[in-house]
Chains A and B, each alone.
Chain A
Amino acid sequence: MRISKSPWLLHYDGSSCNGCDIEVLAATTPRFDVERFGIINTGNPRHADIFLCTGGVNSQNQDVVRQIYDQMPDPKVVLACGICACDGGIFKECYNILGGTDTVIPVDVYVPGCAVRPEALIDGVVKALKILDEKADKMKHGGYRSLTSAEYAEKLKEGENA
């Protein structure tokens, strides 16, 4: 059985203008019935498999994003939804914005768009599910483990120094 049959989502609003959140929420409401794919919009990182992040990361919520990510058990994937979550978007130059989600945690799928289109979002989730399955396989066979946010920060620093 593949883990992608039962993907539970966690949606977190970084510093989004709420445009992307409305799209994400609309796509996960009963109206579109994502439950038929086994998707549950859980509010709990400890139960989640997919982390949907909208909006850029700012200096106040960076620790929150890290904590949410670290609390999710492996295998897990991170989806950056909207151009703000991809690289900061129109808020990029703001004094408090650090950048996209990948400034603090590793991102697996980038879904561009302002706001992110439902089709793109669904496409992104489908991609994420594939990655989730791959990670689950790797975990089973080779003891794979995702980077923690601290290890990711180290890696970023090394990249900067090199």
Chain B
Amino acid sequence: MTITGTAVLLIYLILTPFIVCGFSGVDRVVTARMQGRKGPGLMQPWYDLVKLFSKETTSVNDIQKILVMAHCFFAIFSGAIFFAGGDILLVLFALTMAEVFLILAAYSANAAYSEIGAQRELIQMMAYEPITLLTAVGFYLSAGTFRVDELIQGDLPLIVKMPGFFIGFYYILIIKFRKSPFDLATSHHAHQEVIKGLTGDLSGPVYGFSELAELYEEMLMLGISGLFFITSNPLSFIWAFVAVIIILFSMSLIDNIFPRVKWEVLLTTAWIVTLFAGGGNLAVLGAVGK
């Protein structure tokens, strides 16, 4: 690995919680302003995270702790592969693995709400997995490689060749950032809805680890969105950064315009978007490729 590669990896490992907490702090303030409220301080997500780790460790069973730790490990690991310039397919599979551990942790609690939450999470995975895999295929078709460090060496940003994939990926980002639907397992809204479902039976530091994993996962998602914009030109990183900020802001906006989307709507629309945007793009790339 090159020196820059190692540096990026280290920055990812060390700074992610701070960066993503910062983003979500801004997001919470922006959301509050959109709703005509003052909103919490910028540091609020950070306070929440630190608080969770200062609480007592209770757990409904021993296996749950291990599963949540595995979830956290794989979430960090998948991002690490990405930021080290590894294979994007491996990243996505490691990420799925992470999700599966969290779902198992929820099932292991053997509690009604955790179970509903876990089921909804599975449904949600069904909604977003197709397009994530298709996007990886799209990367391959447009750049001839699955490796992230080679994907960023193109002359043109990848979005030029894969606008459809980007639309599809953007659509599922809203799910990945736990924005919509509001009744999904760990949505940031409506904490009363199935009392947080998936993470409903995690508490204290164990819950903290699942939150930490979420931060790393969000960083990875931001990374993949940035990947659409990066070229061999170093200046393109600035563009990618601006694009990521715009994506984040537009997500808050969409979330506030459609605050009550339910998971049934999400599942059908995600597939329609996948089929038309992703599938259409795939067909064009396939045809042009030949």
Contact = CB atoms under 8 A, between A and B. Distances in A.
20 contacts: A1-B50, A3-B51, A33-B32, A35-B28, A35-B32, A36-B37, A38-B40, A38-B41, A38-B47, A43-B191, A43-B195, A44-B195, A46-B58, A46-B200, A46-B201, A46-B203, A46-B207, A47-B191, A49-B51, A73-B56
Given A35-B37, A42-B195, A44-B196, 15 more contacts: A1-B51, A6-B47, A33-B32, A35-B40, A38-B40, A41-B191, A42-B192, A43-B195, A44-B195, A46-B200, A46-B202, A46-B203, A49-B55, A73-B56, A75-B56
Contacts of B57: 73
A33 B207 contact: no
Interface in B19-50: 28, 32, 35, 37-41, 44, 47-48, 50
B204 interface: yes
Interface residues on B, range: 20 to 34
Interface residues of A, number: 26
B192 A5 contact: no
Interface string B123-145: 00000000000000000000000
Nearest to B58: A73
Interface string A99-140: 000000000000000000000000000000000000010011
Interface in B270-288: none
B56 A36 contact: no
A74 interface: yes
B196 A47 contact: yes
Interface of A: 1, 3, 5-6, 30, 33, 35-38, 40-44, 46-47, 49, 71, 73-75, 136, 139-140, 145
A44 B200 contact: yes
A100 B192 CA distance: 25
A155 B48 CA distance: 34
Given A30-B37, A36-B38, A74-B56, A47 B51 contact: no
A35 B50 CA distance: 17
Given A36-B38, A46-B207, A47-B207, A75 B196 contact: no
Interface in B187-219: 191-193, 195-196, 200-204, 207
Nearest to A9: B191
A38 B40 CA distance: 6
Contacts of A30: 35, 37
